[in-house]
Structure 1
Amino acid sequence: MNFFLETLQVFGLSVYYILESLVFLVVPRRKKNVSGEIVLITGAGSGIGRLLSLKFASLGATVVLWDINQEGLKETSRLARENGAGRVHCYICDCSKRQDIYRVADQVKKEVGDVSILINNAGIVTGKKFVDSPDSLMEKTMEVNIMAHFWTYRAFLPAMMASNHGHLVSIASLAGLSGFSHLTDYCASKFAAVGFAEAVDAEMRGLEKTGVKTTIVCPSFINTGMFDGCRTKWPRLLPILEPEYVAEKIITAIRQDQKMLLLPRCPYLLYALRNIVPAKVQALLEVYLGVLHNMDSFKGQAKKD
């Protein structure tokens, strides 16, 4: 196809896809059935991971729960079984350790089967200024928040490619799209998570593995305890999100094969503006939205003995 025809085709399809997306703002997309799928969720012992486990269980999926917290896993498993899950499997796994991920992944493949929906949800936050962040904590942030994604994809993606069926879900953050004060290592890990997921998605399309889908989730602060103490300048514009709301939106995005989910909705506009306005306007918006001081009163999740 020559340059003129291919350019015309791209223009025509672009107009069509834009109109299609506008229609889907009004008309709900069809939701795929996840009954019988094997869904692996990291960080399933609490918070969003637990809620996603319960929701997938209620939809008839086989849920595979990973966490380093044994008591949290037991409680999620109990609740999942109450929610109607036919099969619930729990595994203690330290997602900061590559060999632990590979070892437990092999167990899952032998005892449960090939994972068809992988949800990288486990994450940690330091919440300190860069100059005050210990090296060990910054390394741990990178190990859990992004390196673990490498190893879980390595473990489970080949089977998805072989069957041309699967779904890769990255629970990232708005901090993976824009820098935030006191979150330097966290932002670095989440930017990496977004870029990694997008790059793998591009590889799947290049290999014509169109049955392997990707969903990247970028929420603002969620009221799970992880960001206790954080405040937003304009709560009506950028509220602290409730976990139940976030989990439900994630499930819907996965079932509708939505590639990018930003929560709440206003960041879609802000993200678009970021790419076209001058740097000084970006800085002005950061001051207006209070993102330079959101973490000033950060406490974080209390550590259990």
Structure 2
Amino acid sequence: MTPNQAAEQRFKEPFTFDKCARILDKVPFSTPFLLILPLLTYLYDRKATSPTELVASLKHLSDLPRSEALALVKGLIFTQYKWVGYSVSFILIKTVNRILNRYIRNHGEWRRDPLDYSKDVVVITGGSQGIGAEIVKLLSKEKRATIAVLDFSLPTYPLKQLGGGRPDILHFKVDVSNPEMVKEAGAKIRESTRGKRIGCLINCAGIASGDTILDVDLSVATKVWKVNTLANWVTCQEFLPDLIRNNHGHVITVSSSGAYASLPSMSEYSTSKAGALAFHECLAIELRTRYNARRVRTTVVCPTKVRTAMGDGMEDHLDPFLTPVLEPIQVAQKVVWSLDSGLSQHLLIPLFANILPYLRVLPDHFRRLVAVLGNTDNQVTKKSMRRALNNGYGKGWEGENKEIYERKKKILLAGDL
């Protein structure tokens, strides 16, 4: 067993706000409780405890005219036991919101359309390390998927199908912002997977820098934008026609919470990820209005800090209960879940991050309050970026990327904290 496999087996999600919310989302705030809570309230009010009393109470309710039964239950939950009425109202609003979001995100195509891993090839950029590597391992081990990895870094796992029974994982050493290299890789993927179709594109590649605006190396900023933003056009122009042709598949864009809430010393990264978010939104609209491919699903994933080599460039959040540092496997599980759902998703992780889009419309003093409470002004510093570089971020880069890495490291190690 490799150290990575051992770490995966040892991983156990800590007790956080997200874990509490998932439990409450099932009991008592799931859709079935729109009926269960009023019924339990009625039985409680009649003090029905034994099986005989329960049956008699239910028979009494069913024997009443419908209008009387509804009036009785309504009076119980909205007058006598108001907390039940509040809970039912909350569940109803939550259910309607979920239904409307599902309808709009999927262009009115209500039926799920998950991947068929025996037929669909998954193409993933940035699949050699971090979140991308965990996605590859999950899809390989649990789904027996055929996977093509596009990444200029070598993978941190063996290029053997982790689940067995399928061809080896395909890896192409590619700069995903280079159209010629991506086009060449696309041809090789189709040749190597004859009899199957391109069914999924996961744009997970991402790099960061960590400079203040006046210190930004423009060549680094250009590279960050190419990988984090431009690559979305490059890969979609190569693989999206396959999905449109079949009116089937899934495009997943891994953006960042930084797309909604920028941090000091993160101008390159935040603007590039905001661009990726806007790309996702345009893609979804064009699939509906331009390409008539309403069953091609689009998902965006916006995590906060993830415990990766790149994530080392940020300090940990102050409150691990509300805003825990995410493990790569947690984000990977969400990505695979979205594929299995067969629906378009908008994922802000952890749950508390769902407050971030509202920072764009709420007063500036609210945004400042969030920054003070989260100490976000000091989340990315030269010290934290030095730590990321010293812990291995960028060491596997080659060519032009390696030159950028070496120049960046030299500047950081020579500068003041």
> Under TM normalisation by the shorter chain, which class is it?
0.7 to 0.9
Deviations 1:204-256 (A, max 9, x none): 12243111100100000100111215222323222211111111122112222
1:227 to 303, 306, 311: 311
Deviations 1:140-197 (A, max 9, x none): 0001101111010000111111110111011110011221111101011100001001
Instruction: Report the residue type matching 1:177 in the other structure.
Output: Y
SS in 2 for 1:108: helix
The corresponding residue for 1:35 is 117
Aligned ranges 1:98-247 → 2 under 5 Å: 98-112=179-193, 114-206=197-289, 207-231=291-315, 232-247=317-332
> Aligned partners of 1:31, 1:235: CA distance in 2, in Å?
36
C-alpha contact 2:135 2:329 (8 A) present in aligned 1? no
C-alpha contact 2:183 2:238 (8 A) present in aligned 1? yes
> Aligned partners of 2:334, 2:218: CA distance in 1, in Å?
35
Deviations 1:116-144 (A, max 9, x none): 10001111000121211211100000011
The corresponding residue for 1:3 is none
Deviations 1:24-47 (A, max 9, x none): xxxxx9893542220011111111
Instruction: Report the residue type matching 2:310 in the other structure.
Output: M
Larger Rg belongs to: 2
The corresponding residue for 1:6 is none
Closer, same or farther: CA 279–255 of 1 in aligned 2, 3 Å:
same
1:304 aligns with 2:404: no
1:278 to 363, 372, 388: 363
Q: CA-atom RMSD, angstroms?
A: 2.5
Give the Å deviation of 1:89.
1.5
> Aligned partners of 1:255, 1:284: CA distance in 2, in Å?
38
Give the Å deviation of 1:298.
1.7
Q: Which has the higher helix share?
A: 2
Deviations 1:46-92 (A, max 9, x none): 1111111111112022111111123x26x3423xx132361222211
> Aligned partners of 1:84, 1:33: CA distance in 2, in Å?
19
Aligned ranges 1:50-69 → 2 under 5 Å: 50-57=133-140, 58-69=142-153
Give the Å deviation of 1:17.
4.1
SS in 2 for 1:116: strand
Closer, same or farther: CA 251–22 of 1 in aligned 2, 3 Å:
same
Instruction: Report the residue type matching 1:280 in the other structure.
Output: H
> Aligned partners of 1:68, 1:254: CA distance in 2, in Å?
25
C-alpha contact 2:178 2:234 (8 A) present in aligned 1? no
Give the Å deviation of 1:20.
3.3
> Aligned partners of 2:214, 2:112: CA distance in 1, in Å?
48
> Aligned partners of 2:311, 2:270: CA distance in 1, in Å?
14
> Aligned partners of 2:377, 2:189: CA distance in 1, in Å?
43
1:83 to 150, 163, 172: 163
The corresponding residue for 2:349 is 263
C-alpha contact 1:60 1:86 (8 A) present in aligned 2? yes
The corresponding residue for 1:20 is 99
SS in 1 for 2:373: helix
> Aligned partners of 1:84, 1:15: CA distance in 2, in Å?
41
1:93 to 174, 177, 181: 174
SS in 1 for 2:395: coil
> Aligned partners of 2:97, 2:171: CA distance in 1, in Å?
42
Instruction: Report the residue type matching 2:177 in the other structure.
Output: S
Q: Which runs of 5+ in 1 are unaligned?
A: 1-13, 24-28
> Aligned partners of 2:165, 2:377: CA distance in 1, in Å?
43
Closer, same or farther: CA 151–224 of 1 in aligned 2, 3 Å:
same
Instruction: Report the residue type matching 1:286 in the other structure.
Output: A
TM-score, reference length from structure 2: 0.63
Aligned length: 282
Aligned identity (percent) is 26
Give the Å deviation of 1:21.
7.0
SS in 1 for 2:150: strand
> Aligned partners of 1:141, 1:267: CA distance in 2, in Å?
24
Instruction: Report the residue type matching 2:204 in the other structure.
Output: N
1:291 aligns with 2:382: no
> Aligned partners of 1:170, 1:295: CA distance in 2, in Å?
24
C-alpha contact 2:261 2:356 (8 A) present in aligned 1? no
> Aligned partners of 2:395, 2:134: CA distance in 1, in Å?
21
SS in 2 for 1:228: helix
C-alpha contact 1:42 1:119 (8 A) present in aligned 2? yes
